[in-house]
């Protein structure tokens, strides 16, 4: 079929680029095979295509932030979430210890400060990490269409080095942004980052965002359209951290990256896509993953500012 053939060509075009390096601050990610690579697309009418190492599981890491933001909106309402987390691009590294001047809120839900806060807004206010993660796993599994699980080795590795995220947790607690025990919020956030997926899972999950919240395979509405609009808006302005401006002009697809090497993209009314390759650039985005997305965008005319 022509689509897998085309996707294999996309892999071939970026295969020789071995620049960048695995995330080294999480031991389990440092040890991942850096040569693995895969790409998947899900159309809004439910066709899913994937090639390369499309059965290799890797942790979602920051990609989880987009979906947990949607769950926080579901549980607290958009105004409840906006009262706690801003929507301004930070232009800073993702784990920056910072709050917006004046409001004292995290700048946006795609950097760690905002994502730990979004995590704390899922479920009842006094929920434990266990309760929140169970809710998050259920929601994400429904989107993926199979039961997703936490990678315990990745979780343990990241917990060994949780001080920076815990620093964010204490800062958020002191600022009155998170209500629960900061350690529970940070533990739960790190567990949510450790959920394993394949590019196929991610493409289907992104396909729901591309389809306005209606699951492309089951045809069921699973995310309200207003939440999808909010999620895609912050993915556009903040999804690639301090490379967001470069990304939106070159690729032009709302996207979210994670430090395990995954990236999702979702174009309203058209497609969900996912790529995987563990080597990252200095900003924490997958090098070959970004190139694959650029090829897909150019070849298929997917830049959101182009008239098709």
Q: Which residues are catalytic?
A: 62, 65, 189, 241, 259
Separation between Cα atoms, residue 42 and residue 112, nearest integer Å: 28
Among 43, 62, 286, 297, binds ligand GLN (CB under 6 A): 62
User: Is residue 285 within the footprint of ligand GLN (CB under 6 A)?
Assistant: no
117 makes contact with ligand GLN (CB under 6 A): no
Task: Compute the least distance from the CB of residue 34 to ligand GLN, in Å.
Answer: 16
112 binds ligand GLN (CB under 6 A): yes
Give the nearer residue to ligand GLN in terms of CB position, either 137 or 214: 137
Contact 185, 33 (CB under 8 A): no
Query: Residue 26 or residue 248: which is nearer to ligand GLN going by CB?
Result: 26
State which H helix or E strand residue 38 sits in: strand 38-43
The full 3-state SS of 135-189, as one line of letters, equals: HHHHHHHHHHCCCCCECHHHHHHHHCCCHHHHHHHHHHHHCCCCCCCHHHHHHHH
| Interaction of residue 61 with ligand GLN, rule CB under 6 A | yes
Task: Assess contact for 296 and 303: CB atoms under 8 A.
Answer: no
* Nearest-approach distance from CB 156 to ligand GLN, in angstroms: 13
Please pick, from the candidates 43, 95, 108, 227, the single residue that binds ligand GLN as defined by CB under 6 A.
95
| Closest to 259 (Cα-Cα) out of 43, 72, 95, 85 | 95
Under rule CB under 6 A, residue 261 binds ligand GLN: no
Question: At closest approach, how far in Å is the CB of 23 from ligand GLN?
Answer: 8
Sign of CA dihedral 142, 143, 148, 154: negative
Q: How far apart are CA 210 and CA 293, in angstroms?
A: 15
> In 3D, which of 26, 160, 178 has the Cα closest to residue 115?
178
Please report which helix (H) or strand (E) contains residue 43, including its range. strand 38-43
Comparing CA positions, the residue from 235, 231, 238, 230 lying closest to residue 283 is 238
- Could you tell me if 304 and 253 are in contact, meaning their C-beta atoms sit under 8 angstroms apart? yes
286 belongs to the binding site for ligand GLN (CB under 6 A): no
Question: Closer to ligand GLN at the Cβ: 114 or 213?
Answer: 114
Q: Which of 109, 169, 239, 258 binds ligand GLN (CB under 6 A)?
A: 258
Answer yes or no whether residue 43 interacts with ligand GLN by CB under 6 A: no
CA-closest candidate to residue 144, choices 36, 64, 53, 78? 64
Among the listed residues 43, 165, 208, 270, the single contact to ligand GLN using CB under 6 A: 165
297 binds ligand GLN (CB under 6 A): no
Q: Which of 49, 58, 67, 94 binds ligand GLN (CB under 6 A)?
A: 94
Q: Answer yes or no whether residue 277 interacts with ligand GLN by CB under 6 A.
A: no
Q: What is the CA radius of gyration of the chain?
A: 18
In the complex with ligand GLN, the residue whose CB is nearer, 61 or 237, is 61
Which 143-162 residues touch ligand GLN, going by CB under 6 A?
Answer: 158
259 interacts with ligand GLN by CB under 6 A: yes
User: In the set 193, 234, 263, 292, which binds ligand GLN (CB under 6 A)?
Assistant: 193
First-to-last C-alpha distance (Å) of the chain: 24
Interacting residue ranges for ligand GLN, rule: CB under 6 A: 61-62, 94-95, 112, 158, 165, 190, 193, 258-259, 284
């Amino acid at each position: 079929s022509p689509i897998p053939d085309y996707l294999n060509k996309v892999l071939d075009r970026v295969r020789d680029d071995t620049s960048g390096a695995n995330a080294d601050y999480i031991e389990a990610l440092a040890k991942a095979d850096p040569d693995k690579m895969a790409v998947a697309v899900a159309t809004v009418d439910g066709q899913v295509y994937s090639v390369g190492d499309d059965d290799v599981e890797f942790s979602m890491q920051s990609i989880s932030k987009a979906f947990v933001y949607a769950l926080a909106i579901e549980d607290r309402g958009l105004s409840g979430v906006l009262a706690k987390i801003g929507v301004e691009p930070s232009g800073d590294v993702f784990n920056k210890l910072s709050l917006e001047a004046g409001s004292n809120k995290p700048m946006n839900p795609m950097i760690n400060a905002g994502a730990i806060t979004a995590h704390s807004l899922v479920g009842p206010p006094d929920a434990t990490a266990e309760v929140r993660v169970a809710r998050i796993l259920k929601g994400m599994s429904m989107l993926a269409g199979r039961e997703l699980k936490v990678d315990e080795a990745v979780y343990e590795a990241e917990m060994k080095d949780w001080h920076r995220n815990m620093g964010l947790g204490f800062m958020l607690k002191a600022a009155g942004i998170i209500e629960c025990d900061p350690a529970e919020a940070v533990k739960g956030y790190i567990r949510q980052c450790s959920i394993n997926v394949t590019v196929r899972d991610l493409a289907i999950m992104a396909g729901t965002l591309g389809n306005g919240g209606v699951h492309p395979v089951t045809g069921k509405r699973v995310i309200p359209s207003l939440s999808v609009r909010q999620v895609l808006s912050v993915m556009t302005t903040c999804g690639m951290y301090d490379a967001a401006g470069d990304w939106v002009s070159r690729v032009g697809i709302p996207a979210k990256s994670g430090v395990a090497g995954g990236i999702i993209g979702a174009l309203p009314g058209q497609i969900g896509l996912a790529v995987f390759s563990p080597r990252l650039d200095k900003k924490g985005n997958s090098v070959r993953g970004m190139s694959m997305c650029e090829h897909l965008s150019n070849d298929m005319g997917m830049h959101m500012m182009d008239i098709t």
